[in-house]
Amino acid sequence: MLKYADLKISDLITLSDLPLPSTSIFTSTQNNTPRLRPEKTSWILVDHNALQGELGKLYSNHVRGCIDHHEEENSVPKETGDEPRIVRKSGSCASLIVEYCKQAWDDLAAESASSEEVKKWDAEIARLALAPVLIDTTNFTVETRTTDSDRDAAAYLRARISAVEEGFNQDGYFDEITKAKVNIGGLSLKDILRKDYKQWKDGEKVNLGVSCVVKDLEFMVRIHNVPSLQHIVSKSPKVRKIRSRTVLM
Ligand SMILES: [Mn+2]
């Protein structure tokens, strides 16, 4: 997917790039405070609406807005001023982002309507944004998961893609990204478990963790040549402190 927008994996910022106290090389040795000082940050949550875990402890008072399609957790302040505060059901969170950005995007595009190069960039971003909409709605085949926001967003994005690419084939694109999604052979087992991992607190003490994996247990054990999945899960540092863990396949 990234290749369509001329992006590399290294262009992405992930949690492991953030200077948190637990990653000791980033911690100031004097007082164990995070180098990324909370008061210097402001956060817009996307695809979740409560900052969890270590990030939550440090930065939840600095959340300034959110765009999300999960249940409302009443964690983001109700008043967010100029920042978005959108929590609404939709198949894909990306659809809500497209909806929110549409006007600004149209205005920007109008300013450079004659530039072929800008049209090409717009189409690249549209392709990138369309991928999660297709994945989350299984290419619009799962009715119960699809809303008007998803259909509208996809139509809008398709128009941007078609502006430079005649005969854009959505089904073909869906097949391609689905293949990429299940192609996890090159990842270590630890990364597979981290890839779609969510952890949260139930009450004060109980930490729950869920890894979602796109392959079955047999694949995981065979490819990675380990005695059992249990063996690896218990060693994975990220999930060590949890009371209950689940792996969905
Ligand atoms: Mn989501």
> Residue ranges of the domains in the chain?
93-182, 189-248
Residue 32 has pLDDT above 50, yes or no: yes
Confidence of residue 63 (pLDDT cuts 50, 70, 90): very high
Q: Averaged over 17-40, what is the pLDDT?
A: 64
22: confidence class by pLDDT, cuts 50, 70, 90? low
Q: Which of 33-42, 65-74, 154-163, 205-214 has the lowest mean pLDDT?
A: 205-214
CA 93 / ligand 1 centre spacing (Å):
5
Mean pLDDT of 112-138: 94
Share of the chain above pLDDT 90, in %: 53
Which tens digit of pLDDT belongs to each residue from 66-119? 999 999 999 999 999 999 999 999 999 999 999 999 999 999 999 988 899 999
pLDDT of 237 higher than 60: no
The larger pLDDT score, comparing residue 223 to residue 71, is at: 71
Q: Kindly give the distance from the C-alpha atom of residue 56 to the centroid of ligand 1, in angstroms, as a whole number.
A: 19
Question: 64: CA distance to ligand 1 center in Å?
Answer: 19
User: Average of pLDDT values for 194-210?
Assistant: 76
How far apart CA 24 and CA 177 sit, in angstroms, is: 37
Instruction: Give CA–CA dist 188/175, Å, rounded.
Output: 24
Q: Tell how far CA 141 is from the center of its chain.
A: 22
Using the mean position of ligand 1's atoms as its centre, give its distance from the Cα of residue 111 in Å: 32
Q: What pLDDT score was predicted for residue 243?
A: 63
State which residues have CB under 5 angstroms from ligand 1, the bound ion: 47, 93
Can you give the pTM of this predicted structure?
0.81
| pLDDT of the residue at 28 | 47
Looking at residue 194, what is its pLDDT? 78
- Residue 36 CA to ligand 1 centre (angstroms): 27
The pLDDT assigned to 241 comes to 62
